[in-house]
Every structure is written in structure tokens, then in C-alpha cells.
Structure 1
Amino acid sequence: MQDQTADLIWREGDVPVSVRFDDPYFSLDNGLSETRHVFLGGNDLPARFRDGFHVAELGFGTGLNLLTALTAWRAAGVAGRLCFTSFEAYPMAPQDMRRAQGRFAELAGVAAELAPYWQGRSQRISLPDLEFTLIEGDARETLNPWQETADAWFLDGFSPAKNPEMWQPDLMAEVARHTVVGGTAASYTAAGFVRRGLEAAGFCVTRGQGYGRKRHMTMARKDIS
């Protein structure tokens, strides 16, 4: 049976890098700032938050995006529950997640709250303000049977140059199929074939200012069913 766990090395003490994809899990500059700029800003969050708002994500990684979204949800004072579903082929071991999350002191409180729940495999976490689901496996196989739709997508697979399977048109079509009308998607990458795949899937795609050394990022909106 193929090993489906994340194989890591560490840079700068606590920056995890995937051996399989030769790519860091978050920006070496400032992963938290990049997440806020790309995934929150690119999806017009927290302005769109409401009870039951559903974020879906390709690539759970260290859990940084979840921690950032939940922190923003709580800071916005939204009543009700945030739904967050993530698709991850190679879940990170719990101790590695905790180590990576420890880089972000600003998230220490929520990281400590969720730390006991991490299992390193498919799981659910239910809190008064959060309904989280981690779906383990190749998203090309696990997204199709998913029965729900998202209001916003965080497209956070490894670099398209190193992990092209995560960005193929067929998978982008599944993302669109699992997005509500008026829903959005955002990604740090502005690779042409990714933008074209989203457009072919029915999204209206624009380029925005990228974070740090990246010139551009991708933002998309689904305006028709």
C-alpha cells in the first residue's frame, strides 16, 4: 500500500517543505500574511461571512488556512458556525502540524484549542462556531462524490509546476460544480492553464496583486449555475 502521509524536511527551524513536491507548505516570507492576502482577501472575507458560510479547500497542509479563517470569523463576531471542508491527499502528522503552526504566535490561542483534535487522517471537528471536515485522498477522486457546495474555495495545492494534477481542468470543473452561484475561489498562483481551467469551468476569472514576490494571484467568481 502506498504511503499516504506527508514526507517533510524543515527549513529555518519550523518551515515544513514537502519532499514529494519539493515545495514549502507556506510562504517563507510570512505564511500568515499570505493566507490573509490571498485566501481571505481573494474571497472578500470576512465581509461575506454569515452563519453556515462554507469554505472548501484543496490542500489542507499545516492547517494554517483553517486557523486563519476561524480567527477572522471570531474577530468579525459572526453568530453561528463556520463550515470548513478540506481535501488532502497526504495528511501531515499531528506533531508536525503543531510544530509548523507554532511559527505563528498570533494564532497560538486557536492553534492550542484545536491541537488535541488532530489525527493525521480523515476526521471531523465540531465546535460551537466551527464544523470542520478533513477528507483524505486524491481530490480527483474524493471531490466528485462530495454532497455539499462551498461559498468560497481556497485553492492551495502545491505549485502547479510541481503538482500539476491538483490544477487540471477536470478538477477545476468539479470545484465549479461544488460552488454556489455567486461563490468564489482564490489562489496564490496565476498560472495561465489554471486560469483557463477555471474559466472553462464557468468562473469569471481575474488577476489580482500577488503577495510578496508573486506578481499576481487568481480570483474567480461563479455567476451562473
Structure 2
Amino acid sequence: MSDQPQQAPELEWLEDGVPRAPAFQDTYFSRAGGLAETRHVFLGGNQLPERWRGREAFTIAEFGFGTGLSFLTTLQALRLITDPPKLTFLSFELFPMTRDQLSRALSAFPELAGEAAELLDAWPPTSGWSKLPIKGADLVLAIGDARNMIADVGAGDVELPLVDAWFLDGFSPSKNPELWGDTLLKSAYELTAEGGTLATYSSAGWVRRNLISAGFSIEKQRGFAGKREMVVGRKELHIQDSAQGDINKP
């Protein structure tokens, strides 16, 4: 593991305080309401917090940590339920923000001020693999190219539980196609627990086809704000047919 920080992103700050990445020609969260969109797409699309109830542990993974908004929104929701599971939150990020950038971006969400302060206290991660201590959660950050680093998990070099829910939250697929490619999504499928789910704000046809090719069953749902559609998916359970197995029994 390297102890050197990774390159920070170059940012533009729009007049409403939303950070924008010129390299990807996209904002880090919706100008129509980043917190509301996160709750609608990623929590709602993965049936959370309902699926947490009765679980001892739960693992979420995402491509693109960005401002940490998805993690903080999840952490806040987790803390509002009784007997929450231990959360492992795995996030891949090529260009982690500096502490100052992160603080400025998260100031847009006063509802998350407590959780944001905890994240900022633990920031920054180092290049490679980092685990940041957050109360009630293990925040595991893979700082580098997701297409390379996900192989560490698949090969067992990094020990993590199977993923129960994916937040597919990279920049727009048209601007950042690498995070939506067929090979990466197949790797994600292989790391997903049976019955595991995914949600994404994108409903692009080629993204849906790549998800299906990877092995997920998918469907469209109502999108956030003015966006007509979003996509959710599932890794189907493989249930043995016990009746079929009895056919040849004496």
C-alpha cells in the first residue's frame, strides 16, 4: 500500500455551490437536490433501509466516491434504525478530493453535518487501499483505477464480504464510460451476493445491456426529479429444485 496521496481533481464551483469536474463535464451531484436524489436512487432503488432489518452485517459498494454523499446519506439512514447491521462500504475513486475540497462540497448538506465532520476527521485516504474508521461502519476506499483494483478483491488479495447492494454512481456514462464497461460490471456481478441488488440513475441503453450481459436482471423505475427513468437490478437467487432432485430416489 502506498502512503502517498493520489492526485486531487480539478474542480469548478458553480454559483449554487455544486462542484463540477471539467475533465468529465459533469457535476458531482444533482443540482435539483443531491441528498434527495441519493435517497431516491440509491437507498430507495436498493430497498434500504428495509433490507437492513434483522441483518448482522451488510455490504455496499460503489464506483466513484466523489464527495462521499452516498456514503454519508447511507450512514445517516443506518443510524436511524434500531439494531443496525455492521456496514462495510467499499468505494472506488481515481481522484479523491482534498480535505478542503470535500469540506466545501459537503457544506451544501447541513443535514449531514455530523456525519460529514466524522468523515473529514478521518480524511484523507492514501493511494491504494485504505480503511477509514467511522462509528458503526468500515469505510474501505480503493484509491486508483477501479478496473485494476477490483481484481484485488476478486483474487482474494483484499478480504471483503460479498456485496449486498451496489450504488452505480460514476459520472455520466457518456463522459466516463470506463466505469460502466462490460468487463468492470462483470467483475461487480462476481463479487455480489446472491439476491444482491444494484441501483443507478442512468437508464442508457448500452448501460442496461452491459448489466444484463454481466448477469444481472434489471428493470426500469421512475427517476428522480425531471428524469423519467432509472435502473435497478438484482443477482438472482439460485434455488435448487428439491422436487426435481427427488425424482430418482427409490
TM tier relative to shorter chain: over 0.9
Residue pair 1:93, 1:120 contacting (<8 A) in 2 also: no
CA deviations on 1:184-222 (whole Å, 9 max, x unpaired) are 011000011111111111111000100012111010000
Give the aligned partner of residue 136 of structure 1: 143
Q: Which secondary structure state, in structure 2, belongs to the residue aligned with residue 111 of structure 1?
A: helix
Give the aligned partner of residue 186 of structure 2: 173
Shift of 1:5: 2.1
Give the aligned partner of residue 248 of structure 2: none
Q: Which 10-residue stretch deviates more, 9-18 or 21-30?
A: 9-18
Give the aligned partner of residue 244 of structure 2: none
Question: 2 CA distance for matches of 1:36 and 1:163?
Answer: 23
Shift of 1:128: 4.0
Shift of 1:144: 1.8
User: Aligned ranges for residues 1-225 of structure 1 at < 5 Å?
Assistant: 4-49=7-52, 50-122=55-127, 123-146=130-153, 147=156, 148=160, 149-224=162-237
Unaligned ranges ≥5, structure 2: 1-5, 239-250
Please list every run of at least 4 consecutive aligned residues from structure 1 whose deviation after the TM superposition is greater than 6 angstroms: none
Unaligned ranges ≥5, structure 1: none
Q: Which secondary structure state, in structure 2, belongs to the residue aligned with residue 66 of structure 1?
A: helix
Residue pair 1:39, 1:186 contacting (<8 A) in 2 also: yes
Q: Which secondary structure state, in structure 1, belongs to the residue aligned with residue 89 of structure 2?
A: strand
Larger C-alpha radius of gyration, 1 or 2? 2
Identity of paired residues, percent? 46
TM-score, structure 1 as length reference: 0.95
TM-score, structure 2 as length reference: 0.85
CA deviations on 1:7-33 (whole Å, 9 max, x unpaired) are 111012521101210100000010000
Task: Give the aligned CA root-mean-square deviation in angstroms.
Answer: 1.4
How many residue pairs get aligned? The number is: 223
